[in-house]
Amino acid sequence: MTPPPPDLYQHYVWAAYGVALALYGGLILSWHWRCRHDERKLRQLSASDEEVAS
């Protein structure tokens, strides 16, 4: 059997890797950003609690 020409299906490969990169990368960036945001907010609340207590 003759193998298909190298460039014939290349765009399918890029599409598959693009989907994986977009989904995994998007989730990681989103969670990373939200984690930093929520940790900062939690630290601010804890700091204001300590101020009130002192």
Binding site for other proteins (CB under 8 A): 1, 3-6, 8-10, 12-13, 15-17, 19-20, 23-24, 27-28, 31-32, 34-35, 38-39, 41-42, 45-46
Alpha carbon dihedral 25, 30, 35, 36, in 10-degree steps, equals 90
* Smallest distance, other proteins to C-beta of residue 37, A: 9
* Smallest distance, other proteins to C-beta of residue 8, A: 6
Distance CA 9, CA 21 (A): 19
* Smallest distance, other proteins to C-beta of residue 19, A: 5
